[in-house]
Amino acid sequence: MRHPSKPTLFAVALLAFTGIFSTPLRAAMDLPLPSAPQVSAGSYILVDYHSGDVLAEKDADKRMEPASITKLMSAYIMFREIEAGRLKLTDLVRISKKAWRMPGSRTFVEVGTQVPVNTLLQGLIVQSGNDATVALAEHIAGSEDTFVAMMNQEAQRLGMKNTHFENVTGLPHPNHYSTARDIAKLARALVHDYPEFYKYYSEKKFRYNNITQPNRNLLLWRDPSVDGMKTGHTDSAGFCLVASAKRDGMRLISVVLDDRSENARATSSEALLNYGFRFFETKKLYAAGTPLKQVRIWKGASDTLALGLAKDLYVTYPRSQYNKLRATVNFKPTIVAPARKDESFGTLDVSLNTRVIAERPLIALQAVDAGNLWQRMSDGVRLWFH
C-alpha cells in the first residue's frame, strides 16, 4: 500500500464514519468477485466487525420480527448497568409471578426465589430464557415497560432507525420489529462495548434447577471460529441467527432472519461467513492518535499542527488487492490559529481502483493557541506574500 500522498486541496465535503455502510463492498468496488451464496433466509446481512463494511446483503432494511434476537438489546442494557455500577453480578433478583409465567424458552426459575444476576444472564444468553430476561428487566427498571423504553432509547442512540421494541423477549407483537442491518449495528456495538461479557455467547450449555439446556447456536459445534451470538424463533418470525466468527484477526458478523429451520439458519450463516473470509480481508491501516501529517499553522504559538485520526482506521477489501490501495491526505491550504484539539481540518481518503472505499476526518491531535502579538503580525505579513 502506498503511504499518504502529498497534500492536495481541501475537500469541501467531509464524510464522517456512520457505522455500517449501506452499499455492499463488492458492488462499490466494481471488482470481479463471485456473488454471495444463495441462502434460504428471507433477509440477511454480512458485515466486517472492524470496518463496518457490508460484504453481502438481501433485503437488509426490510422490517422483520426479530424473535429472541431482541435479547441482544436486553443484554446490552444489562451490561451497561453493570459497567455503570448500578448492577452487580452477585446481586440477588427476586423472581416475580410474571417472570415465572412467561411462555416460550425458559430457564425454569421458580417464583419467589432469589437468583443471582450472573445466573440469570447465563439463562438469558445461553438458554434464551424469557423468564430470566423479564426478571432482570424488572429488577433493573421496576417494570418490563420501563425497561423497554430504555431499549428503544438505546436503539435510537445506536442509529437503529428501523427498530422498535415492545417487549424484552421478542415474543410476537405487531409493533415489535427490526432489520438485519439494525441488528448488525447492535451486534457490533455489543462486541465492541462489552468484550468482557461477550464470552457468555460462546457457552454451549447451561445447567440450572437440575435442568441442562444446550445453546441453540449450532455453529458453536460446527465451526471453531464461531464464538457467538444469538438465536431466535417464533412461528411468525421463522428461524433467526446472529453469528460472529474470528479468523486470523478478522471478525465477521452475519444476521440471518426468517429461515426455514434450525439447521437452515446455521447453514445459511455458515455459507455467508465462509464467503466473507474466503474472498475478503481486513487490515488496520492507521492507528488513532498517530500523526499522519505535520502542516503549517499560521499566527499560532507553534508553527506546526499534527493531523491524525480519532479512531483506528480498518479497511476491508478483496483478497490480494492490498498493494492496490492508495491513501491520500487532503487538508485546508491555509490553517490559522487557534486550533482546537479534535477539530477537523481535512480528510484521509483510501481508494482502490480509483474508487474511494474509506474516508475519515483528519483532526488536530493537539491544541494550538493563538500566538503573541509579534507572531500574529509577522505571520500576517508572510501570509500576505504566501
Domains and CATH numbers, the chain: 34-280 (3.40.710.10), 287-385 (2.60.410.10)
Q: How confident is the model at residue 332 (pLDDT cuts 50, 70, 90)?
A: confident
Grid cell listed for 68: 429472541
Which whole number is the average pLDDT over 41-53? 97
Name which residue leads in pLDDT, 28 or 274.
274
Q: Which of 232, 239, 237 is nearest to 259 (CA)?
A: 239
Give me the pLDDT at residue 39, please: 97
Which whole number is the average pLDDT over 381-386? 76
- Residues annotated as catalytic (active site), given as ranges: 68, 71, 128
CA–CA separation, 88 and 79 (whole Å): 10
Q: How confident is the model at residue 333 (pLDDT cuts 50, 70, 90)?
A: confident
19 has pLDDT over 90: no
Q: Which of 33, 48, 24, 47 is nearest to 250 (CA)?
A: 48
151 near 232, Cβ under 8 Å? no
Give pLDDT tens digits for 62-90: 999 999 999 999 999 999 999 999 999 99
Residue 180 main-chain phi, psi, to 5 deg: -60, -40
Q: How confident is the model at residue 11 (pLDDT cuts 50, 70, 90)?
A: very low
Give the range among 4-13, 179-188, 293-302, 363-372 with minimum mean pLDDT. Answer: 4-13
383 has pLDDT over 70: yes
Give me the pLDDT at residue 299, please: 87
Give me the pLDDT at residue 63, please: 98
Give me the pLDDT at residue 25, please: 62
Give me the pLDDT at residue 6, please: 37
Grid cell listed for 108: 425454569
The chain-wide mean pLDDT, for the chain, equals 92
Name which residue leads in pLDDT, 58 or 29.
58
Give me the pLDDT at residue 374, please: 83
Helix (H) or strand (E) holding 264, with range, is helix 262-279
Q: How many residues does the chain have?
A: 386
Give me the pLDDT at residue 15, please: 30
Largest distance between two CA atoms of the chain = 84
Q: Which residues contact 94 (CB under 8 A, 6 or more apart)?
A: 112, 113, 114, 135, 139
Give me the pLDDT at residue 372, please: 85
Q: How confident is the model at residue 145 (pLDDT cuts 50, 70, 90)?
A: very high
29 has pLDDT over 70: no
3-state class (DSSP) for residue 212: strand
Give me the pLDDT at residue 12, please: 29
Name which residue leads in pLDDT, 21 or 265.
265
Q: Per the omega criterion (within 30 degrees of 0), is the bond before 103 cis?
A: no
Q: How confident is the model at residue 382 (pLDDT cuts 50, 70, 90)?
A: confident
Give me the pLDDT at residue 31, please: 62
Taking each helix axis as running N to C, give the angle between helix 130-141 and helix 144-157, from 0 to 180 degrees, rounded to the nearest 10: 90
Which whole number is the average pLDDT over 195-216? 95
Residue 244 main-chain phi, psi, to 5 deg: -130, 135
219 near 239, Cβ under 8 Å? no
CA–CA separation, 282 and 319 (whole Å): 9
Ordered alpha helix ranges (H), 158-207? 180-193, 195-198
How far is the CA of 198 from the CAs of 34, 75, 190, in angstroms? 32, 10, 8
Which whole number is the average pLDDT over 97-108? 96
